[in-house]
Amino acid sequence: MAGIRQTFDKNGNPHPKLRYWYKDWQGKREWRTGTEDPDRTQRIADAIEGQQKEIREQVALGLRKPPTSAEIAKPRPISEIVDEYLVWGEAQGGHGGRPWSPVHRAMRTRHLTEFWPEKIGLKSVSDITIPKVESAARQLLKQKKTGKTVQLHVESIKSFVIWCKGRGYLDSNVLEGIAPFDTTPQTLRRALTVEEIEKLLNVAPAERRLVYETAILTGYRKGELAALKVFDLDSENCTLSLAAKFCKGRKESRQPIPHALALKLRDASKGKPADAPLLSYDFHIHRLFTRDYTDAGIPEIAPGGKLVFHSLRHTYCTLVIESGANVKALFQYAINIL
């Protein structure tokens, strides 16, 4: 008889969705992710086990051939399989069995629950084909999306297909051989000059100025800056730490920072709980950054490329290179700016 159970994360908190199990046509117990409703999840489990029992009886009587893996997966709604994939990714889908970063998980969730179901009529894994995926990708190009954006969408469904094959939901990698899209940047991103840094910091409100200063003096990306907590700041030793799950390389980062910046961050975080965000980070930071550099009279396009928020990371790298990759020299350079 099929059944359900509650599962918990490593901190003992219950997962919102229940897990259910059923016996497949060969009598093997299979586990799947259900819904938040126990009754509905139990009905799903009972229905699938009933289907599998019917298959077992038909095979035994010689009324049909044993089902393929794809046929077994087909009765399951694609949303269930996607949910299972996302749960797996959140737990162990990254490099070395580490979890996906929150940004990566959000992107995969958006692609697989919104974009691909709408664009290719994705209702079961059998709906995924190279012609459909390539057609949807070409539509993105027609909408003036960059090659990198298109490739990220394609990579999401390619990775999902490979995972489905490994789980037996597909008999083969149906997207094997799909050609990659050109990801060459259409516009290069440039770094800010020292004069432009001064202009930007002079016009930016205090909270955003601190975000910009931290970005310029650490090289942290948008997601990494947003993930910083108060307890990540060690003002005595002048370092900022960042958990592995928030870093692109999935390795914990500890970044030395100038004493002046450490004091500013310490003062700004006084009275905040240890697990509160270290920076007042707005989701629309790119739009606000554009407004600030425009108000400062800084041109968007200049020799070297275009200004975007990620330019602050380029600025950090440029300062390091110009200082001879000498961190002490960079800090002295930065103190003069602050």
**Please, what are the averages of pLDDT over each run of 10 residues along the chain (338 residues)?**
86 85 88 83 84 88 80 69 89 81 88 94 87 95 91 96 87 90 83 93 94 92 88 92 68 84 94 92 88 95 90 86 58 49
In 145-284, where does DSSP find H-type helix? Answer: 147-167, 194-203, 206-218, 222-227, 259-268
Phi and psi, residue 210, nearest 5°: -65, -35
Tell which residue, 112, 76, 113, 107, has the closest CA to residue 94. Answer: 107
Determine how β-strand 233-234 pairs with β-strand 239-242.
antiparallel
| Percent helix, strand and coil across the chain, each to the nearest 5 | 55, 10, 35
pLDDT of residue 80: 84
Domain ranges in the chain are 1-67, 78-186, 194-337
Other CB atoms within 10 A of residue 207 CB: 12
**Dist CA 336 CA 167 (whole Å):** 57
Classify domain 194-337 at the CATH topology level: hpI Integrase; Chain A (1.10.443)
Written as one string, the DSSP assignment of 254-292 is: EEE--HHHHHHHHHHTTTS-TTSBSS---TTHHHHHHHH
* Token pair recorded at residue 158: 């390619």
pLDDT of residue 75: 58
**Buried b vs exposed e over 64-80: b needs ≥16 C-beta within 10 Å?**
eeebebbebbbebebeb
Q: 3-state DSSP call for residue 163?
A: helix
The CATH class for the domain spanning 78-186 reads: mainly alpha
**Dist CA 7 CA 12 (whole Å):** 9
Other CB atoms within 10 A of residue 236 CB: 9
Residues 6+ apart with CB under 8 A from 219: 255, 313, 316, 317, 320
